[in-house]
Structure formats: C-alpha cells, structure tokens
Amino acid sequence: MTNPILSDWTTPFEIAPFDTIADSDFSPALDTALEAHNAQIDAIADNPDAPTFANTVEALEAAGEQLDKVLSVFFTVAGADSNPTREELQRDFSPKLAAHFSGISSNKALFQRLADLWARKDDLGLTDEQARVLMLTHRGFVRAGAALTGDADTRMQAIKARLASLGTSFTQNLLADEREWFMPLSEDDLEGLPDFVVDAARAAGQEKGADGPVVTLSRSIIVPFLQFSPRRDLREVAYKAWTARGANGGETDNREIAAEILSLREERAKLLGYDNFAAYKLETEMARTPDKVRDLLMQVWEPAKARADVDAEILTQMMQVDGVNGPLAAWDWRYYAEKRRKAEHDLDEAALKPYLQLDRMIEAAFACANRLFGLEFAPLDVPLYHPDCRAWEVTRNSQHVAVFIGDYFARGSKRSGAWCSAMRSQAKFPKAQAPVVINVCNFAKGDPALLSYDDARTLFHEFGHALHQMLSDVTYESISGTSVARDFVELPSQLYEHWLEVPEVLAEFATHADTGAPMPQDMLDKVLKAANFDQGFQTVEYVASALVDLEFHDGAAPADPMATQAQVLEGLGMLPAIGMRHATPHFAHVFAGDGYSSGYYSYMWSEVMDADAFAAFEEAGGAFDPDRAKALEENILSTGGSREAEELYLAFRGRLPGVEALLKGRGLIAA
C-alpha cells in the first residue's frame, strides 16, 4: 500500500491529504525520503562531469522533493496539533535529520564542486539570481562546516545533532508545562471579569475536562485575566505559573538545557573561526555585528525605561488608592494599566472587544491585500489537519496565486505564540509551484470569537508574513518568500500591522458582534489615540529579552544562564514590576532552534524600517497609494532573498531610516 505522504497528491492544488495520513505513516515516509535524498546527493557529488551551475546548484535545488513533503506535513501538525505519538516522533526525527543534513554539508566531493564553481563564478555567465543562489549555497556550506576536516568535522556533526535534540526537548518541555497547568475558578472568582474573559475561561475548562471555568497559560486567556481580575491573590498565582514555564524542576525543566545549548553554540562558532556565536550568527544579517545591535537596543532602552519609570509611579499611586500597600508587583501592572487606560482614554477593552470579531478582522486583512495588491480570497472546502482550520484560494486577475490556511484558536495540542509557515514555497524551478501558506495563532474561542486589539495586530502581523510568501516571484525555492535575513524578515509583517490602524479599515470592519453597527467614531478616535498606550512597559519587556539574548551569545557561554540573565537585568535597572517578555526557561525564539538566537533584536531592527516604510505611503497618496503598493511588492514582497536586504529596502525607499522613526512610532519621543 502506498504511503499517502509519498503518493502523488491529487487533492485540490496538491494540498497535503491530511484526511488519509496517519501518525504511523510518518516514520516509514521519512526513512524512504531520506534514502531517496541521499541517493540524489550522491549522484550530484559523484557526477563524473565537470561541475556546472545546472548539474550541481540546480541539481541541489531540485533534490529532496519527497523529504520536503514529509517534513512540511509533519512539522505542521507537530507544532499546531501535537500528541504523545508526534512528540515521540519529533524526538526521534530531530537527531536523524540533523545527521542527514550534516552529512550533506560535510560531503567533501559535493563541497569541492561548489568551491570550484565559486572560484569560477565570474566566468559562468550566470544571471543575477543564479549568482545569488550560488553565493548563498556556497556560503551555507562553509558556515555549516563543510571546509572542516578530521576531528573538527566529526565534532561539528556531533554538535549539530545534539543541538537538534536539545531544541526539541526545550520545545516539548515548554508545551508540557503550558498544557498541564491550569487554575480552576469558582463562580465568585469570576466577579469583575468581562463576559469575554468568562466565556474564554469556561471554554478552556471544557477543553481541560474541568468542572467549571479555568485560567490556562495560553496568552489569550492569561493576559486578559491579569488585566481584569480584581483578585490580586489569583493574579499572583497565575502570573507566577506563567513565568515559571520551563523552570519548575523535574523532567520539564529547561535551565540546564539552555546552558548546554549556549555552550555548544559557542563551540560551534569557534570551530568555524569566530570569536563567539553572535559574531558568527550576525555576519549574514543586516546588523552585521553585535555592537550595532547593542547600539540600536540601547538607543531604544533609555527613553522606554524613562517612560516606564514614570508609568510605574502612576500605577503605584493607583494601587495605593485601592488600599494595597507595598511595591507594585509584576502581577499588578496589567490590571492597573487597564484601569488607567479606561480612565485616561475612556477606552474599555470589554466594550471594545465586540467590535473586533475574528471573522471581520480576517475580512479586513483580506480586503487590505485586495486594495493594495489585487488579491482575492475564496473559501476552500478541503480536508485539513484540525477542525479549527480554514482554507482559502488566493487569486489575482482570476489566476491562482496561493492557498492560505488559517488556524486561529488556542488548544492544548498547540505550542504557544503565533507563526507563519509555508507547506510549499513558491518556485519556478524545477517546475512552477504556487505556495501553500499557514498562519497559526492562539486566540480564545467564542461564539463569535472576539479579539483584543493586540490579537488583531497579531492577525495582521502574521498575514504580513503570509503575503511575503504568497507574492514571492523568484525562480529558486531556496530564496523564495521569507528566505531573507532574519532582521529583515519581520519588515513585511510589522509593516502590515499599520493597516489595522487605518481609520477607514476600522470604520468598515470593526462592527459590533450583536448589532452589526460600526464602531462609533468616538470609540474609533479613542482606539487610535490609545494605540501607543503603555509603550514603556511593552518596549522594556521586549528590549530586556533582546539584550539578554545578545549577552548570552556575545562572549563566553555562561555556565549559569539564569545568573547572567539576572546580571543583565540588574545592570539595565530593570523595573521589578516588569518581567522579560520571554525569560530564559521559556525563551523558545532563542532555544527551540537557531532561528532567533542572538537575533531576537530582529523585530526592533525591522520596526525601524516598518515605521519609515509606512510613512512612505502617508507621504504619497495615503495608506492605499497604488504606486507605493506596487513598489513594495516589486522591491520587497516578490523578491525573497534574491538580493541583499539593504539593497531591497533602498530600492523601495531610496534611503535607510534612523531609529527616530521607531521612537516616534511608539510615542517614546515627540512626533
């Protein structure tokens, strides 16, 4: 019987046939795909013909189609709908895949072919895109250790295998802590909570099999609880559980794992001739050096810290008026900030939320994409991996562009956070293929599902990533879509958030869940005016995390990461009432894999550009200026990694921005 993962997918648009795939299919499919990929690699490496771009680089681009199919399906469900079997498979697959790709990068015959081509690159008659792919392929092999020999080569492969296993363990420990903990609430405990928080708690209780409502560690539930619960004792319990993820002792504790990861990363960098891991990692990013990253972060830290200090005094006074003596605690900040927002801006999130229906916000994201880029979205009825998922066909001028899948609701089987991934990336070689793109979020369920303003921004953010994938128009998959520098990849996503705040978008799509009435003008004005509320808090919690990440990797690996974290925060003068957005034991961006390691600053680096990029629209014909939209697509969204990120931004804007645009955008300095 043919394994459904490896068979020809005859589904609409060749979407993975999730309804025919069983967990038992994954392991044999992976073994078959690895064997096939190894045979393809051996054929390229052992080709007796002299190396050419076609028989080496393009052959590498074309290889591994079966493996891509297996991994796209498996990692989609492992991240968004895990179960014990899939978690066990992930623990088994991680070292196996690390060994496989290490074997490719250490294949000396293959690397010699690439080195030969690189030495003759100017005489090969390559197009600009081909020259870019050759450079990136050669550089990737070198940075993976292809030039190492002997003991260094053997050690590099062992390090990569161990890091893969540790990253998987870190992720699964975090998921286990998030899944297992919940706090039951009595009916009395619900007093003072808005209906949408109560509804979310009841729905969470049903999912957990509890007798009544519960608070879980899903951000979509715990943050509103911390905002609205008048019960300081319960806020403290919930907050401490939330921030203790990965640091509860026992089998799911991530602290020793983090220390080993940092040590291995340092060793890996030094094997390749770098002083430390940050120097290695940042070499290929826009920032280039740890000093440039630190300079940016500190330029933002100072005004953000000053704002947060002032805010802390105000919130402390509010708390004392309530008869609570002593210092403002981390479980107090959101509660009193929400009361302050209501007092200063007359903006009540409980009154706002009915106007931010999930379905209407999806429509808004689609409508903006239609006005900017001519994209149209039609629902697709296809089998998907979970009943919560929805799919749409994306077209332009009646031509198929992509399939978009949305998986929006929190559940115990889904890791926390929000992300965008491509089950299939756009490419023209070796055959034309349209992308299949997924946005995964963790919003609270409801009837209808209602979003906070931050949730709505998250939806637009992830859809910005999706547009980067869907509008890609390059030849080779290795440079398609979001295959760009890490500190550039967040530009399209953060830029797209700005369209949520365009008044005409909210006026059309922010309609009341019960009455259908549009958001009243006075509420709309308050929403936009309060957009930068509490930016001191939000900026401080983010920048602190980015600076700790940088410190971990810019120098000798700390033997005790928790002690280093404490030292960094003390040196910054971190407010006790503000925690890091991601403390070390649950800092999945940094420890689940190498993606954002010494690169968590990337969101802020991109924000410097996104504030300036949206200003380009405002300086032209407004948010939907067609010329600016065309320039954005032609120079950034369609180009993938075909050129250097700095070159792409200069082509769009004509200059690089300074940090002032970001500070003004966050309201940390006067506009």
Q: Which residues belong to the active site? A: 462
Distance CA 477, CA 62 (A): 9
SS3 content of the chain, % helix, strand, coil (to 5): 60, 5, 30
- Euclidean distance between CA atoms 114 and 124, whole angstroms: 13
- Bond preceding residue 95 cis, omega within 30 of 0: no
Distances (CA, A) of 44 to 351, 477, 539, 643: 62, 18, 49, 26
3-state SS class at 605: helix
Phi/psi for 667 (5° steps) reads 70, 20
Distance CA 47, CA 604 (A): 46
Rounded-to-integer distance, Cα 210 and Cα 204, Å = 9
* Whole-number Å distance between alpha carbons of 21 and 8: 13
Residue 520 CA to residue 510 CA, distance in Å, equals 9
Using CA atoms, how far apart are residues 541 and 304, in angstroms rounded to an integer? 10
3-state DSSP assignment of residue 148: coil
Helix axes 290-321, 535-553, angle to 10 degrees: 140
The helix/strand/coil state of 56 is helix
Is residue 379 within 8 A of residue 359, CB to CB? The reply is: no
DSSP 337-392: HHHHHHHHH---HHHHGGG-BHHHHHHHHHHHHHHHH--EEEEE----SSTT-EEE
Taking the C-alpha atoms of residue 488 and residue 636, their distance in angstroms, rounded to an integer, is 10
